[in-house]
């Protein structure tokens, strides 16, 4: 061991010259403080001969002269975390020399080197570059669904790119036991439902605008807007630009575009009713109207080709037929509806003193 120790009694300080110690054991024990003789001018080790480990409670100062740890960044090789406080400041993390994560000056969080996020303050923008597959997933230790050909078994929810060249998002959710719990539930709540236009949930489909601007246009009448399938193999139904089609059919002529139920009030136009009263109910499916008219009170008599003003809500586009029955006296007959704006029902037979007459029929609106 070679050493030289100098003691200054006046200042109560110890100075060390060149000292060599063995690799093991305690070399120097200090009670008090060890100071350099001048500020920011002495080194502890060199760039080629370094101390192996330093056990320190607290570092003071800005750290600007420390290699690898500075006042605004921590860096090792080509991986670093840095705070930039010039202009629009931000915090950035790089791995292998590539930006992985950033928080910009207004609190927007981005990944993949994205420096122009299209989110609001506090929002998250994920940039996965040209990578395909899962870009977001949620895991839970309670889940073990076993569908590992789709996702890892403890994945509860995932979002992935559908097509490597065309984009699109595939959303998947999982449960791991038999129950009434759905794998994905979409639940919307609105404050008020008093207006007919208010709706808590909307599914929207469209195509890019054919007029040349950057917006969207409606789907054609014979093209799907929303498709419902069984495991992706069998189409159960498709909501098209025209209405609802079943199976793989999407033709506009086959689409169900209207369903309605309601009531109407017929009147005795030409019969010999005495204080008679009528009520009507209808169901409209597409262009087909099924109706039923009940005589709720009074008596009714009529002759062939006399009429009741049906007043049903839709005008017939073609002549149709109806049947007439009642319980007492017992009658049974038919009549016609005409394609006319007066919406009359014309009887095909005569009867008198009838009560509780029931008229039911069908006609087309187009």
- Domain of residue 286 covers 261-364
Q: Quick one: 237 and 288 in the same domain?
A: no
Q: Is 181's pLDDT higher than 50?
A: yes
**Cα–Cα nearest to 277, from 295, 299, 301:** 295
- Looking at the domain assignment, is residue 233 inside a domain? yes
Q: Quick one: 252 and 269 in the same domain?
A: no
Q: Which pLDDT does position 16 carry in this prediction? A: 54
Output the CA angle 14-17-23, nearest 5 degrees. Answer: 105
State mean pLDDT over 267-274.
55
User: Binning pLDDT at 50, 70 and 90, where does residue 273 land?
Assistant: very low
CB 301 within 8 A of CB 354: yes
- Looking at the domain assignment, is residue 287 inside a domain? yes
- Looking at the domain assignment, is residue 55 inside a domain? no
Q: Quick one: 351 and 300 in the same domain?
A: yes
116-125, 194-203, 252-261, 307-316: least confident range: 307-316
- Looking at the domain assignment, is residue 29 inside a domain? no
Q: Is 345's pLDDT higher than 90?
A: no
Q: Which pLDDT does position 77 carry in this prediction? A: 84
CB under 8 A, 24+ apart: contacts of 5-9: none
CATH number at residue 282: 2.60.40.1830
- Looking at the domain assignment, is residue 6 inside a domain? no
Boundary of a domain, candidates 111, 143, 173: 173
State mean pLDDT over 126-145.
95
- Looking at the domain assignment, is residue 249 inside a domain? yes
State mean pLDDT over 271-288.
77
Going from the C-alpha of 279 to that of each of 3, 213, 289, 302, 347, the distances in angstroms are: 118, 53, 16, 18, 18
Strand, coil or helix: what is 253?
helix
Q: Quick one: 269 and 348 in the same domain?
A: yes
* Burial class, 359, CB count within 10 angstroms (exposed 0-12 / middle 13-18 / buried 19+): buried
Q: Quick one: 355 and 270 in the same domain?
A: yes
**pLDDT digits over 20-63, tens only?**
555 555 566 767 777 788 887 787 788 788 888 878 777 676 55
Q: Which pLDDT does position 274 carry in this prediction? A: 45
Q: Quick one: 315 and 360 in the same domain?
A: yes
- Looking at the domain assignment, is residue 52 inside a domain? no
Q: Quick one: 292 and 317 in the same domain?
A: yes
Backbone torsion region of residue 41, taken as left when φ is above 0, otherwise alpha when ψ lies between -120 and 50, otherwise beta: alpha
State mean pLDDT over 110-119.
93
Q: How many domains does the chain have?
A: 3
- Looking at the domain assignment, is residue 34 inside a domain? no
């Amino acid at each position: 061991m070679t050493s030289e120790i100098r003691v200054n009694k006046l200042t109560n300080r110890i100075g060390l010259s060149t000292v060599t110690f063995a690799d093991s054991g305690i070399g120097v024990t200090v009670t008090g403080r060890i100071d350099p003789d001048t500020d920011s001018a002495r080194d502890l080790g060199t760039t080629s001969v370094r101390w192996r480990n330093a056990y320190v409670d607290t570092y003071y100062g800005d750290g600007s002269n420390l290699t690898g740890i500075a006042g605004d960044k921590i860096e090792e090789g080509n991986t670093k975390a840095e705070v930039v406080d010039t202009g629009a400041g931000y915090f950035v993390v790089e791995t292998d020399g590539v930006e992985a994560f950033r928080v910009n000056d207004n609190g927007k969080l981005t990944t993949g080197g994205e420096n122009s996020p299209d989110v609001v303050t506090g929002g998250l923008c994920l940039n996965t570059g040209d990578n395909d597959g899962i870009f977001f997933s949620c895991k839970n230790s309670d889940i073990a669904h076993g569908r590992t050909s789709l996702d890892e078994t403890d994945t509860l929810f995932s979002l992935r790119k559908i097509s490597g060249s065309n984009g699109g998002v595939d959303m998947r959710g999982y449960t791991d036991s038999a129950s009434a719990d759905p794998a994905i539930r979409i639940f919307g709540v609105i404050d008020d439902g008093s207006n007919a236009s208010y709706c808590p949930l909307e599914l929207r489909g469209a195509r890019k605008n054919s007029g040349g601007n950057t917006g969207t246009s409606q789907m054609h009448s014979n093209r799907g807007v929303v498709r419902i399938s069984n495991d992706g193999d069998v189409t159960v139904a498709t909501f098209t630009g025209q209405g609802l089609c079943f199976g793989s059919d999407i033709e506009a002529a086959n689409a169900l575009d209207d369903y309605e139920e309601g009531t109407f009030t017929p009147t005795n136009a030409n019969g010999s009713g005495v204080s008679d009263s009528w009520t009507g109910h209808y169901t409209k499916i597409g262009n087909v109207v099924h109706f039923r008219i009940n005589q709720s009170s009074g008596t009714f008599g009529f002759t062939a080709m006399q009429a009741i003003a049906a007043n049903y809500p839709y005008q017939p586009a073609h002549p149709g037929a109806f049947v007439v029955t009642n319980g007492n006296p017992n009658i049974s007959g038919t009549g016609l509806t005409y394609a006319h704006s007066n919406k009359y029902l014309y009887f095909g037979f005569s009867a008198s003193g009838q009560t509780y007459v029931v008229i039911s029929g069908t006609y087309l609106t187009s």
